Structures are given as C-alpha cells and as structure tokens.
Chain A
C-alpha cells in the first residue's frame, strides 16, 4: 500500500514537472520569435487577423487569442502539429512573417508539448525580479565576448534560469552583437565605448551596460584635480574607459560659459577684466554666487521652467498666464525649494487669474494630457505609450497611465480651477472608468483630492523621481546633454552614463531642500565643468563622458538678447516696452518672428530646447541676411556708430567686440588680421568693413555657441 502511494506521488510529481506553463514558458517563445513585436501581431491592429498584446504585456488576452478565439482555430489538440500557432511560424503553412521558429528547435518542441498537454493556462505566476549576469561589464580590450545569463525569481520563490527564454537585444548592433548557440547567449563586443544590451523576460526589461576602454593603454588620472564629488565620479569613469582629460579652460572661456549657463547672458566686459585678472577658486565662487543672486538668473530660469511646464496663453485669457509667470518668477526669486513649487502645481485650485499655480492644469486639454505632463515634468518619464498599451520599454502599464489621469479627472479647468464630484477617464484596457492610481505604486481608494496623495508620494523622502528628473535637467542645462538623454526619458532601459552620479546629485538636491541654486553651484564649481573643449589624442570621440567641454548652440531667446547686447541696439518686440529682453517673453504663442525663425519652441507641447543652429535653413538664412542682424549693424544709435563717432581706433573697436561677443580679447594675430582687413582711408568704406567684421563675428561658431 505504501509503495503504491509513492508510485502515485511519483506520477503526480512527474506530471507537475512536465506541465508546460503558458505565461512563463510559451509566451517567452513567442516573444523571442518576434511574434508579439510591434511590427507583427503585437501591432495595435494585429496582423492577419491575429492580435497579441505588445511584447506579451497582457498574457490573459494572449491566451484567449491563441486558445479560444474563433472557436480555437489556432490550436488543434487532437492534431497538435496542425495548430496554426505552430504551423505558421515554422513555415509549414504560409506565413506573412516568414519562418521565425525552427521546427526542430526547443521553442517549437515546447509549443507542441503545450498543445499536446491540452493548452493549459497554468497557475498565474508573478515575476518578482529578473537578474542578469553581468549587470555591468567593464572590459579591458576589444573585440571580446561576454556570456550573458538571466535568472528569474517568481512569487513561488524559486530562482529559475531563464536565459534561453530571455530576449537579449543590442541597442547598437554595430557595437555589440548578440549570438545564441544551444541556449548559450554571448555578447560579442566589436567597438570600444559604453554600450547597452537589453534583456527582456515577460514584463521586465533590464539593461546590461558594457564599458570598453577606448585605448588599450591604461592611463593614470590620479593626479587630476577634483573640485568636489562630481569630479570623483566623472574621473572614475574616464579612468575606466581610459579617456585622457583635456586641459582646463581659460578664465575667459569659463566666465562666458558659466554666465550664459546660469543667467542666459554674455558676461559684461568689466566683469571679464576683473575675473580674468584675479582668477582663483574664491573669485569664481563669488562670481557664481553673484550670478545665482541676480535678477537675470530669475528671468532666465523662469523661462526655462516655463518651457518645461508648457506655459502658453489661452484664447482671450492672458491674465492666467501673467499670474502663472509672476508666481513662477516669485518662487525662483525667493529661492523656494522645488518641492514646495511642485506641491503647489499639483494641488492648486482657485481663480487662475489670481492663483498662479492653478494654471498648471489649464496648460493641457484634459486629464490624460495632464497625466503625461505630470509624468514628463515631475517624473522625467514619457507615459504616453501606456495610453494604448503597456509601455514596451518601461514598467508603466495602461492602468498606471489611466489611473494617473483619473487623479486629475475631476478638475474643472475654466478660469476658476476647482475639483468637482464628477469627471472620470476611461481605462482603454478595461473599457471601465479608471481607478485613480499612483503609477507603479498603488491604487487610491475613496473620495477626496487624490492630487494630494500623489504629491505626498512624489515628495516623500524615499522617492527620487522628481529629484532625478530635475538634477538631470540642471546637468543638461550646464553641459548641453543630460546624464540621461533625452532628459525627459528616465527609465531603466535608458540608463544614465553615470548612474551613481545621478543618484548622488538627486540625494544632494533633496538634502539641500530641492534648491536648484545649490545644485547649479556644485556643478559650476566642479573641475569637470571647467574643462576646455580642446580635443586631445584619445578623447576625440568622447561626446558623453566629460573629458572635455562640448559646444552647444545658444537658445533662440538668449541669442537674440546677445545680439542686442553686442550691437548695443535693444530688442523691439511688438507690444513690449523698448528694451525688453527676449528671455522675458514667456508665451510661445506670442508672435515674435525672430524667435520663431530661430527655432523657438512655438507649440505649447513642451518640445526639446533647440539652439539657433538647430533651426534649419530658415534660421541660417536669417542669420546670414536677415533683419535681426543687419538692421542692428547699421543702426545709427548702435554700438558701432557710437564707437566710430567717438573716434576709436580699429584695434579698440575689434577688441571691444571680441570681449562683448566672445568674452575675451583678440589674440595678437587676430587683431592684426582684422585691422589689416578693416583699414581704409575712405571713412564710408571703413565703416562698411567694420560692419562686415561685426557680422562675421556674430556668425562665427565662437559666438553662436556656448563652449
């Protein structure tokens, strides 16, 4: 009797071991074969009448489609080999997507076994974690190969090797190639630098970062000066990648750079003279403090934040935008922490003509738009994909997206912004009203203002979404690129170039009261920020590790103001007082031809900031032969005419423009060259030549870029 019981148990165990699970075994086969990719049956409308959820995001729906739809046309339990789900991908029946599954391979065998065993759904299993090995690889040479493994931890607690079921894909196949042989996955690294491979299993995507030195010869960067902890992080990675560091920038270069980055202006000639003469760490610290405390800083950062928050006027309602702008400028002026500003933006109600932050919800058309703006500004993420399907490269689900939209669904967005008892958004996945939800965290129960709960979560001590998004943007403002690019696309599958640095910056930001001035100062006083843009042997291909400075174009608003400052002819914008600076024009819908031609973000959609050299052909033509420049060069009250009328020499005039436009004196050869070119006994011709000189200077990269 006892032995019979053991026999039965053995049979039962054998049965359990043999059972093929749909979600954790069958779906990965289909994902790996590309069946549920966006180009195939994972497309919104499916393909050939067969729709699967994108990358297997909805296993229940996929099971339904494969097993039940059209009375089970896609599986044949009596004759498994005749099942469409097997016969099509293996090429036994015509398949628009060609042969994607080897008939004799493990994937096809597993599918066959699953159908033969009665297409079981299996016990719904939750994937708790996906661990890849290595998660980060630092190599010493290239080409080289690295074995990759993936282990899954399910809710039943057993660590399972899922390497053969995991999709490994290279972000740049020219740099890293993925090879598979008999269940072994190998990354073949063909190029030096920093590369990313994504490992996808079920609903998890994990990045693997490969750092391969750019040189075979080790370099010693231990003697490189470190101004603060930012430099430590930067130099460590440069050392790992064996990238040599360019020499520090000159005092003039640093001064122009930091002034443009912190206040959006060119440095004043008097400041240039003073700082260059007395340059020291203390002088630089003092100058940065001076900039951070200036009104120009308030103007410039009001503009920058207004772009991120999609400020724009509403039809027949400029009062709201005025109140919003005044409030934002006041917050920046007062040096309030961004956490306070965030809470006000998320929870404000009232008369939008009086309560500035109440306009936050008026800058978007509906709750879904607001959810996307909240995701973008406060969390640095793009939630938009999750409107129609679970985000293929991030953790956001449709429930997250519509749940966050539901948080703002009861907001009435008229002049009086208020919460109402009505209003809902439909969850497109369920077709039912969405449950208010903090994305990726929890549903919000009960009535009341869910915006407060969201703000509490966002600004809680252990939440770094907002801090990481903000410091990444501040870094981008200072270096021309974020530690994560694009700056509003923070996700696990788009890793930062310096992940520990991003975390430290975020912690430091939070620990210092969400104070942007503090973080900007840390960056501005680092040696990393003070490097020159000079390319030296070994760092010519570096465009993201900060071994040197990278030139970046000026913002259109900054550029227009800079031209005014250099030419001495103030801006004249319709409806604004003479002398108004372009950076104080907050409304992107306000018609300012020069700014629009130069590539200003004119739609109220929070586009990436463009520099003037990114404005395309019209921008270039405008610079070459447009009124913006030419009219100011010949203006009778302009700087050039004033200098000429005062009888200054060519050399003095050339130096004056060099200092104002490029932030430095001309070198001896430069001065000599220009003086030779300008010299003329005919005063009219001399004047024209000087106009040409200024035109040349203002069209040079040295002026167009911050470098």
Chain B
C-alpha cells in the first residue's frame, strides 16, 4: 500500500468533525494548533485551555495547564524542546507561556503586553523569540532569560502576524494598519514599510530557503489580508512580486517545504492550495469547521489538521508537488 493510500484511509476515518466525550475543548472555537516535532501528538488551544491529542488519531492524551484565557498561537522551538503558548486577556494583558515539551511543565510565564499576544515566532537559531500583540507593539525576548531585548512600535494598530528571517536579524510583522513592516530584531529600528494591502493583514509566512529542483524560487514572504488577496513579496528589496485574489477572506497560511505551494485557510471554511508561481488556486478542501483559525500540515503523512470555529478536522491533501 502506498503512503498516499494510507493517508487517504486515515483521512477517511477522521473526515467527520471530531466530538469526543470528555474533551474540554472539542466543538468550541479552536484558535491555535501545532503538531509535535516527532509527529506523534498535536496540541490544540482555545479559550478553554490546552489539550493534547494523539496524531493523527486525535485521541485525547491530556491537558496542559495554562493561565491564558485566550490562546492564539503555539510554536515549537527549532530544536523542538520548548513550546511557546501565546495569548492573554483581551484589553488587559498579553502573555507568553514557555513550556518544556519533555514534561509538559510550564517553565516560565511572561506578561509582556497590555493586550493579547496574537502570534509568536522563534528566531531560526532558537536564541530569541518575538511577539505580535494587540497593543500594537512587538517585543524581542531572550529565550533563555525571558527578558525583553528590544521592542518595535512602528505599527499604529494591533499586530496580527510576525516572522523571523533566516538571518536571525530581520523581523517582518503585519497588522490591522494594513502594512507589512520590516525591522531589526537587535535594536528595533525600522527598515521598510510595504503597504500594498488595502485591508487588515491577517498573517504572514516566510517561504522556505531551499530552492526546488525544477524552479529556482527566491526567498519570498507571503501575506494574506482582509482584502482577500494573497501577496508574495521580495521583502529585502521592498517589491511586491505578485498576488492572487481569493473568494473568501484568508485567515491563516502555510508554505509547502519546496515553496511551490501555499495552503490558505479561509473564512468560508475552505482550505485553498495555491500555486505560488501562478497564484491560482489549484485545489480546495472543505474543512467543515466554519471559519478557519489555524492550519497544521504533516507533509510526511500527507495529512492536514484544520482548526476553526466549530472544532477541528483532519483530512488528506496532495502533499507532493
């Protein structure tokens, strides 16, 4: 049996929305998900807490204690040993909890903002992480101490997405002020503003650095917006490369390892696969979870975990380009 067929069967077995008795969060809006580094577990975050499940079986394994009333992002460190859970209480505080993945214990909880932290991102070297907050501020934090190294205040409104460049220096952030901003993670100095979007920029993802064999795709950055566009940028020279229009507002996006594909979860509950060379939607999958909040793709297993307003959904997808 081929791997793809196996993926298909697993997907069929899980294709209905999972509502498992005893789950603290099943059926409620799930706002953050992450697949563990060894691909054995997934962690789901919502207003009801953090729930650990097996992957891809989605059986409840347990919960992880958190003080976050809203969980907006979950990110593993590059070495897979530490996990960041970001969120907080809206209009009150934004916090990040550092969790040791080996024992699921909270190592540290850092209150950094006056509003929730929507996104966090690790530096590629794992030495720092950076926050994007509803208070319009980004902070660069030393991973070892939890101390703030610098802050960036260039956004005029809430910051919704953030990403570290491979150079471990440059950070890109996006937000409600409709801009994509590049800044220096060492001292918070502003580098460039790119403002082609005409709506809130919901998320950002940096493309893979390894070129594929059949095309030499340069390092790119993708953003999605309330203006229903997906835009590709060459941020280092401040150029909008190309964009595609979607039928529904995109909320979350992920690159394929090769950079040929973008996977975008939208308000209408569909996950669109976009060819990054043409910006055309080549495949859509109905995740059946209402508005999508987060996506996690397992390219090895060819499975996709989609989280949204009405819970989560596991489905197969075309993982080979």
Contact = CB atoms under 8 A, between A and B. Distances in A.
Interface string B67-110: 00110100000000000000001111000000000000000000
Interface in A94-150: 94, 118
Nearest to A118: B28
B47 A88 contact: no
A93 B158 contact: no
Contacts of B44: none
A70 interface: yes
B159 to A, nearest CB: 11
Contacts of B72: 71
A78 B48 CA distance: 6
B28 A84 contact: no
A68 interface: yes
B231 interface: no
Cβ-closest 7 pairs across A and B: A73-B90, A71-B31, A78-B47, A78-B48, A84-B90, A76-B47, A72-B29
A422 interface: no
Given A73-B134, A76-B47, A82 B91 contact: no
A79 interface: yes
A77 interface: yes
B301 interface: no
Nearest to A88: B91
Interface residues of B, number: 24
A71 B70 contact: yes
A83 to B, nearest CB: 9
B32 to A, nearest CB: 8
Contacts of B293: 71
Interface bracket on A: 10 to 19
A68 B28 contact: no
Interface of A: 49, 68, 70-74, 76-79, 82, 84, 87-88, 93-94, 118
Nearest to B29: A72
30 contacts: A49-B157, A49-B158, A68-B291, A70-B90, A70-B118, A70-B158, A71-B29, A71-B72, A71-B118, A72-B29, A72-B47, A72-B70, A73-B70, A74-B90, A76-B47, A77-B28, A77-B29, A77-B47, A78-B28, A78-B46, A78-B69, A79-B47, A79-B69, A84-B90, A84-B91, A87-B91, A88-B91, A93-B91, A93-B92, A94-B91
B268 interface: no
A22 to B, nearest CB: 14
B118 A82 contact: no
Taking each of B48, B91, B291, which has the highest tally of chain A beta carbons within 10 Å of its own beta carbon?
B91
Given A70-B134, A71-B31, A71-B118, A76 B157 contact: no
Binding site secondary structure of chain A: loop
A118 B92 CA distance: 23
Contacts of B195: none
B69 A76 contact: yes
A556 to B, nearest CB: 46
A79 B89 CA distance: 11
Interface in B152-195: 157-158, 160, 176
Contacts of B69: 76, 78-79, 82
Contacts of B48: 77-78
B309 A68 contact: yes
B65 to A, nearest CB: 14
Task: Specify which of A68, A72, A79 lies most central, judged by the most chain B CB atoms within 10 Å of its CB.
Answer: A72
A560 to B, nearest CB: 52
A82 B176 CA distance: 23
Nearest to A119: B29
B116 interface: yes
